[in-house]
Chains A and B, each alone.
Chain A
């Protein structure tokens, strides 16, 4: 048996006509309006400060223009969404390297397992989260080709200092979406467009 507590709510006449309570409420809203800090982040101009551990768009870390990746295939193995595909090649000094490093961003679930698995600290997740695009092709692309400048996007320097990328000297920034958009449109290579 639960004990029933009888609460006597006796309203005086003054409470009955709500005047004092209304005045109190009005004071609270006015106080909030005049003195409280506004919490709105005005999105395209202001951006939320995400943590360094935020799992956004992937990038391949490298040193002096040479990517850290040795095409060990650990990341495609661990990937639960099976979105990474790597073509391994061999450098002149017999070092293994990825000829093609492809991530299908439409399948990626941004779990960060690839980053965890990587022994060379090569694949990393940045805090870039603006990945919307009208073209499906862009989300399924060869990372390294674009980063090595083979596709002539020429966007590596343009991205620097924009605040969304972590400022690291050994950083291969992923290409910004719109540049790739334009590139694909020029090439007429939009067969995979949504």
Chain B
């Protein structure tokens, strides 16, 4: 119990206290770099404390509520949106289990047997915060934004689920810990260098579909139609200010963190070491408990590296691609992603039956 609570606190602390500010900083500086600017570089080293000062500013702003907004649902919406975002990370493993005095300790908050299903269930809860925010604000634009958001998320959840089905078939498990562990197997042995059985090598189509769907699910560009500044001002959080807005913002970034962790866990071997790291671990020459601790550290580092890359990809894609038009978004979701993911499931079935995977 105490251990689980510690894990929860550490994870919430990391995702809300480290990942979110750093990501907002990275988003602002990254966008600036891509546009040949410098970005905020004044507060703290490299401007890293900019988000902190923004947070302080938001915390001290007037907690304004539109007079015709729903009294109960209006303030609750940001929380409803943040909590599922924080919950999803519970089942993502960030290192292989470690054995201390005969007991196994796993590096995830809850080692659920049906981890992937839990993620799908909780991820679809996130939509309630957006719907509530849009409805309770009593604003047409907010309502339009949340309606768009709901249809978008439902459309892409289908392809997302189907993309996951192929992965589950390949690894023959619904537990994320087991999926990550099974990705350590060798796919092709090339003597000194071998290609591991990572999801991306076994299920490339599923990876592309899943990645695209996470962008739609987290309402990030190129699929950020719920916000769509040029059309509906700011969408569902138009009427929100001060800390309520910050909470929505935080939910978005925590969602990104979770989605990146999920992509890393499902398609990039999760905590499986990156090429070359195994040599470094062996070169340390540790044995017994010390080796185990070093192993865990290396695995966490590998997981963090993979997750960071996908977090960066979010920023990179956001400042590269323009926003989709709404009909294009729906076309992509229903006419391309859905048939593609269905075909992928069938293909995977055939390949498994033939014994290729």
A residues at B contact (CB < 8 Å):
16-19, 22, 25-26, 28-30, 32-33, 36-40, 42
Contact of A32 with B37 in the complex, beta carbons under 8 Å: no
Contact of A39 with B321 in the complex, beta carbons under 8 Å: no
Residues from chain B with a CB closer than 8 A to the CB of A26 are: 316-317, 320
**Docked pose: A141 CA to B35 CA in angstroms:** 44
Residues from chain A with a CB closer than 8 A to the CB of B317 are: 22, 26
A-B contact pairs, 24 of them (CB 8 A): A16-B336, A17-B332, A17-B336, A17-B340, A18-B332, A22-B317, A22-B320, A25-B321, A26-B317, A28-B320, A29-B34, A30-B316, A32-B35, A32-B36, A33-B34, A37-B36, A38-B33, A38-B36, A38-B38, A39-B36, A40-B36, A40-B37, A40-B38, A42-B38
**Docked pose: A70 CA to B268 CA in angstroms:** 82
> Top 7 closest A-B pairs, CB basis?
A40-B38, A33-B33, A25-B320, A29-B34, A29-B320, A33-B34, A36-B36
Q: Which residue of B lies closest to A28 (CB)?
A: B320
B21 within 8 A of A: no
* CB contact list, B323-342 vs A, under 8 A: 332, 336, 340
**Docked pose: A37 CA to B37 CA in angstroms:** 9
**Docked pose: A32 CA to B32 CA in angstroms:** 10
**Docked pose: A16 CA to B212 CA in angstroms:** 14
Interface size grouping (class) on chain B: 10 to 19
Could you say which of B37, B320, B321 has the most chain A C-beta atoms within 10 Å of its C-beta? B320
Residues from chain A with a CB closer than 8 A to the CB of B32 are: 40
**Docked pose: A145 CA to B99 CA in angstroms:** 85
Residues from chain A with a CB closer than 8 A to the CB of B36 are: 32, 36-40
B319 within 8 A of A: yes
Contact of A38 with B37 in the complex, beta carbons under 8 Å: yes
Residues from chain A with a CB closer than 8 A to the CB of B321 are: 22, 25
Residues from chain B with a CB closer than 8 A to the CB of A36 are: 36
B317 CB to closest chain A CB (Å) equals: 7
Choose one: A19, A28, A42; the contact of B208 (CB below 8 Å): A19
**Docked pose: A29 CA to B316 CA in angstroms:** 8
B30 within 8 A of A: yes
**Docked pose: A38 CA to B37 CA in angstroms:** 5
Residues from chain B with a CB closer than 8 A to the CB of A37 are: 36
**Docked pose: A118 CA to B135 CA in angstroms:** 68
**Docked pose: A38 CA to B332 CA in angstroms:** 36
Residues from chain B with a CB closer than 8 A to the CB of A25 are: 320-321
A45 CB to closest chain B CB (Å) equals: 11
**Docked pose: A17 CA to B336 CA in angstroms:** 7
Residues from chain A with a CB closer than 8 A to the CB of B319 are: 29
A13 CB to closest chain B CB (Å) equals: 8
Q: Which residue of B lies closest to A23 (CB)?
A: B320
Q: Which residue of A lies closest to B331 (CB)?
A: A16
